Structure 1
Amino acid sequence: MHEHTVSGQAPDAPVTDAGEAPGGAGNQGPEGKRRKGTLAGFATAALVLTGAAAVVAAGSLLPAPESSRNLPAAVAAVPAGESLGVCPGPARLLEGTQAGTDPQFSPESATAASTVTAAILGAAGVLPSSRLSLLDGTTAVEIAKDSGEVPAEGARQELIAGVLANRQVDQATVVSADALANQQASAAAAMKFTATDGDLQGTAAANCQRPSNDQWLAGASTTVGRTSVLVLTNASTTPATVSLELFGRNGQIQAPGSRGLLVAPGTTRSVVLAGLAPGEPQLSVHVRSAGGPVAAAIQQSVLRGLTPGGVDFIAPGAAPAVRQVMTGVDIQDPAGVAALTGRSGYEDAAPALQITVPGPSDAVVEVKVYGRDGQKSLPSGGVITAKAGSITEVSLAGVPAGHYTVSAASDVSFVAATRISRGTQEGQPSDVAWASSGVRLGSQHVVPVPRGGTRQLVFGALDARATITYAAITADGKVRAPSTADIAGGTTASIAVPDKAEDADVVGYVVSASGDAAYGAVLVEQDGRNDVSSLAFQPAAAGQETVPVTISY
């Protein structure tokens, strides 16, 4: 810039040597003036450039103005929020269903019952305030009162529990626990529906879900005799606008009426999926909400002619990922299953893995099934190609009877769930359940165990050995001494849940894992009946969270 200023002077501009007045003895002709002017211009330019360099050099040594300095990102603590679980209401028939002429197959049930079981952990003799509420905010049961105390620092952190054991309910409910000492409460709850007569006979259990704005549910069906009802519950004070993405066997389904579904605060909305996607033998639903978060579940029931074929609550599984793991999978005698599924109307009475690929690329999926004594071979060979934007079913028929963990892995993200069936006699009531994909076990998972029937903790370790510790929570609020299970890699272990521990009813467990990746579920069955349900362990409490905050202009 300075050089441009010097060269821009007029050639004949009068420039004098320093100390000489114009017209003095030192003056020469025009040529001398030009030479002197040029030399003086160069000298001035040199001085300007030298001064500029000095300024630049000085600027590199001086601190920048405060307004332009970068400040390091500060970490701000976010107040721990309320622990919340929304429990679905009892299984119900669609309105307008008429009773059959044979009372044995009446849709009405005299034995149907729904209960909620919950456990909330505390320490050092202090429990977080917690309750069971209705959707309108009315408290139905106070589990623990706010004592106004916090656990003392350095005090012995012996665990205690607030317990809700087998509480009868007749509608959707909410189990909530306040934060304690700015730590999110460790809490979990489960709802169990049972009926021994009517069209909905069987067992359907579901975890009480933390509301979310994005969730995936797999395992629905809308063919003849199959009823799938999506239940959306908004327990917040903000309206929720829900949009659904539907995926079937032949690709994504564009369904009018699947967008902009309003769920008002404190209400439940039911959507009959056959109205959006009729005749689909396999159906997955992606639920997204704007505004308030919602809890979603699918009430799935089967009627094979006049024979009840089971009832279940399909819960959200893990978000799309390159690996999905389901445990608590109970497989029956393969010969009996093969004989039954060969009959008309029983094609979906066999165990199977369903894979949904929501993205634009096909997924090459490797499926492994781990039992008590290691990995089992699959009829498909274990490697399949799942088409993009659709559902692919992988049969587990032929796998020996037992409890299993199913692992599926690919280089493309997908969603998965595993179907469980009980009953091998045609014309006899049977039951169905879906094992949703779960989370890797960490520290201090609260696992509610619904009362009644045969209950088992099922753990699966994948590649290497895992160590599981589990401590019973009893109805008197005590957390008993823990036990330890060492599980070899590539195996599944089952632990029977006793009715009582030291003369008190067992209502749940505190479970922690170390070592290689391990997964867990509660398998609920009924002696002398074909009832079955599988509950994947919920994530552990998040505790206090921090977020980076950058301050800048």
Structure 2
Amino acid sequence: MHKDKTPEGGNASRKGLLTGLVSSAAIIAAAGGIIAAGTLAPEPAGSRSLPAALAAVPAGSSVGVCPGPARLLEGTEAGTDPQFSPKSATARSAVSGAVISAPGGVLPGSRLSALDGTAAVEIARDDAQAGGAAGPQELKAGVIEQRAVDAASVLSADARNGQKASAAALMKFSATDGDLQGFAAANCQPPSNDVWLAGASTTLGRTSVLTLSNASTTPATVSLELYGTKGQIQAPGSRGLLVAPGSTRSIVLAGLAPGEAQLSVHVRSAGGPVAAAIQQSVLRGLTPGGVDFISPGAAPAARQVMTGIDIQDAGALSSLTREKGYEDAGPALQITVPGQSDAVVEIKLFGRDGQKALPGGGVVTAKAGSVTEVSLAGVPTGHYTVAASSDVSFVAATRVTRGLKDNQASDVAWAAAGIRLGSQHVVPVPQGGKRILIFGALEDRASISYSAITADGKIQAASTADIAGGTTTSIDVPEKVEESTVVGYIVSASGDAAYGALLLQQDGREDISSLALMPAASGQEQVPVTLGY
């Protein structure tokens, strides 16, 4: 072995080592020179940090998760896992929705399915082709009209040509008997890892059940942050809630936060995103007080806007809310401040003829880490837009009620804070009852374009509403256009900031539901990417 180490090999080895040391020294010296030069030489006047490069992210499928039908709790609410009794004999639940084609009439692959992916209705196949009669810019719609459901469901539409599909759906529940007598509707929500829900209550006669639905193939681990009138609530059992793929988990909020008149829930998910909603029902003694699905609203921000607010006669409301058990039977704004600083909130109420003054004034202080309620009673009957602004971020929702007699069934709905309207929002409209599109403009004039979607898949000619700044406009939805049933609308806005909602009522009943318009489809997005090791 030693014979292999010849003197020539040893010299070569030492020569290589010396060369490496010299090269290293040269590199170090060069680096030192660069550092010294950078230290001594002044920076160019235009020197600045370069932003992270933007990488294009392909558009994904459009997904909306619809909550399942409302169901009565059975037995005690001492725990958080509910047991449900059979639904009432008259309860009906159905999903309505629409998927919009690309110009030329090509519908994206789309379907309504169960939460586990089992297809219920195929709207269009992935290889669908445009009809020969379609013009180069003509749109058409794939329609779901009053599809009966008995569990959570999912509307999904595939991306096409780098663009997310324009699609939306809602679930409508109604019952004319039992403790869940009333009417409720909810938008089918895109799954998220972070949402806020405001308007729950766990006092006597109020039942709030949080439903978490996981339509992905990844398990979701959910944590809840609860806010009440006295501050944030530390509740054992509110962290690490597992929601398996293709399943729904229901949680009785009274088991986490009992006796809370106003309760907001911040839902955060790790792993798979979830769709969250709160089934809220009211029983005033033996009289049904309504049912609603509380949907997520806008994320915490310095301004929140809610439209689709229906306010009844001020005098009758005043008399009703003085009755025991009816304190929450009138309209009110709830403000949740998640931060460490109190929020000074300015509230403006815009009606058909402009701004209306609130009897209690328009400025309130909302305590940090808690929920504050502000009554909206005392203004004239009509439809309104509520705009609230502050110096700190907050979450908001507005309670809407119907019914003015304490011995008759009434209903309640929560209007979540909405988003500013842009281009091509899809607004599904369920059948039956009174349907009203409501739009509010804030400071300056806005223009709204709305095109009816009919059951035959046609997009009808657009109509336009010009809305003055600081006003609210209501548009009744007709039953038919050109002899075909109206199943939805495509809505676009221009001009100043405008907001929209769909208000639903039932003929001859004190039923109500208010749904903020969903965001429009987005195209290819770009995200900042930082390279490192």
Quickly name the TM-score band, shorter chain normalised. Answer: 0.7 to 0.9
Whichever residue aligns with residue 475 of structure 2, its letter is I
For residues 266-415 of structure 1, the aligned pairs below 5 Å read 266-415=246-395
- Summarize deviations over 1:360-380 as a string: whole Å, max 9, x none: 000000000000000001022
For residues 8-47 of structure 1, the aligned pairs below 5 Å read none
For residues 128-277 of structure 1, the aligned pairs below 5 Å read 128-147=108-127, 156-277=136-257
Count of residues in correspondence between the two structures: 485
Whichever residue aligns with residue 113 of structure 1, its letter is R
Larger radius of gyration: 1
Q: CA deviation at 1:97?
A: 7.9
For residues 90-105 of structure 1, the aligned pairs below 5 Å read 90-96=69-75
TM-score, normalised with respect to structure 2: 0.87
For the structure 1 residues 302 and 59, does the alpha-carbon distance in structure 2 shift closer, same or farther, using more than 3 Å as the test? closer
**1: CA distance between counterparts of 2:35 and 2:141?**
68
Whichever residue aligns with residue 55 of structure 2, its letter is A
**2: CA distance between counterparts of 1:72 and 1:312?**
46
For the structure 1 residues 59 and 511, does the alpha-carbon distance in structure 2 shift closer, same or farther, using more than 3 Å as the test? closer
Residue in structure 1 matched with residue 398 of structure 2 by the alignment: 418
- Summarize deviations over 1:336-374 as a string: whole Å, max 9, x none: 111111111100001000000010000000000000000
TM-score, normalised with respect to structure 1: 0.84
Q: CA deviation at 1:397?
A: 1.0
**2: CA distance between counterparts of 1:190 and 1:55?**
63
Whichever residue aligns with residue 241 of structure 2, its letter is L
Residue in structure 2 matched with residue 110 of structure 1 by the alignment: 89
**1: CA distance between counterparts of 2:528 and 2:261?**
47
**2: CA distance between counterparts of 1:412 and 1:162?**
43
Residue in structure 2 matched with residue 119 of structure 1 by the alignment: 98
For the structure 1 residues 495 and 336, does the alpha-carbon distance in structure 2 shift closer, same or farther, using more than 3 Å as the test? same
Identify unmatched segments of 5+ residues in structure 1. 1-53, 61-69, 99-105
For the structure 1 residues 412 and 112, does the alpha-carbon distance in structure 2 shift closer, same or farther, using more than 3 Å as the test? same
**2: CA distance between counterparts of 1:444 and 1:135?**
27
**2: CA distance between counterparts of 1:527 and 1:236?**
39
Q: CA deviation at 1:242?
A: 0.5
**2: CA distance between counterparts of 1:57 and 1:303?**
78
Q: CA deviation at 1:58?
A: 12
- 8 Å CA contact retained: 1:150, 1:181: no
Residue in structure 1 matched with residue 477 of structure 2 by the alignment: 497
**2: CA distance between counterparts of 1:406 and 1:416?**
10
Q: CA deviation at 1:110?
A: 1.6
- Summarize deviations over 1:56-115 as a string: whole Å, max 9, x none: 99999xxxxxxxxx99965432111010000000000013389xxxxxxx9852211001
**2: CA distance between counterparts of 1:55 and 1:448?**
64
**1: CA distance between counterparts of 2:51 and 2:177?**
66
- Summarize deviations over 1:132-189 as a string: whole Å, max 9, x none: 000111000001112255899xx72211111101111011000000011121001100
- 8 Å CA contact retained: 1:126, 1:147: no
Of 463, 488, 502 in structure 2, the residue corresponding to residue 483 of structure 1 is 463
Q: CA deviation at 1:551?
A: 4.9
Residue in structure 2 matched with residue 430 of structure 1 by the alignment: 410
- 8 Å CA contact retained: 2:441, 2:472: yes
Say whether 1:80 aligns with 2:76. no
SS at match of 2:319: helix
For the structure 1 residues 161 and 379, does the alpha-carbon distance in structure 2 shift closer, same or farther, using more than 3 Å as the test? same
- 8 Å CA contact retained: 1:214, 1:288: yes
**2: CA distance between counterparts of 1:59 and 1:316?**
53
